[in-house]
């Protein structure tokens, strides 16, 4: 009859503790061998900027990472809104310029041409035509004769 070896929970805990101790030593050795980022090496080691500035930069970097991690949905919404505004801005500006041109042309036609007998719709049509490159406003006097 063979007796099975039995282990107590205390022995298991001791073995796990020893394994963790070994892993901690290896992890700390890896941390010591870790190289500094290039920007830290240049700015703070070679140039000699103050350490307080490095601490502030690292805190800001940590806060920004947390902010992006927590507020992804709102950031995507803001980015989409700004992108759509940038995309549609030229269309809106072109329409505004066209309306301004028509208004100025309409005022010009009313002030400088003999417009008796011409309705407001025809004046608007002539101003639109003028803004699109037409020259029909110069022929207004010829139309009446």
pLDDT score, position 12: 63
CA distance 132 to 99: 11
Domain boundaries, given as residue ranges, for the chain: 37-70, 72-145
Q: Is the pLDDT of residue 98 over 70?
A: yes
Percent of the chain with pLDDT strictly greater than 70 = 71
Give 22-51 pLDDT, tens digit per residue. 556 555 555 555 777 888 888 888 888 898
pLDDT score, position 145: 47
- pTM as predicted: 0.46
Q: Is the pLDDT of residue 73 over 60?
A: yes
């Amino acid at each position: 009859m063979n007796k099975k070896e039995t282990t107590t929970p205390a022995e298991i805990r001791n073995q796990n503790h020893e394994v963790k101790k070994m892993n901690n030593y290896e992890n700390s050795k890896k941390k010591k061998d870790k190289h500094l980022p290039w920007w830290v090496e240049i700015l703070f080691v070679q140039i000699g900027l103050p350490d307080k500035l490095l601490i502030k930069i690292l805190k800001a970097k940590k806060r920004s990472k947390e902010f992006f991690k927590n507020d992804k949905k709102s950031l995507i919404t803001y980015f989409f809104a700004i992108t759509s505004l940038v995309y549609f801005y030229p269309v809106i500006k072109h329409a505004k310029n066209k309306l301004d041109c028509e208004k100025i042309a309409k005022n010009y036609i009313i002030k400088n041409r003999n417009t008796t007998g011409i309705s407001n719709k025809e004046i608007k049509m002539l101003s639109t035509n003028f803004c699109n490159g037409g020259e029909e406003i110069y022929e207004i006097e010829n139309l009446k004769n």
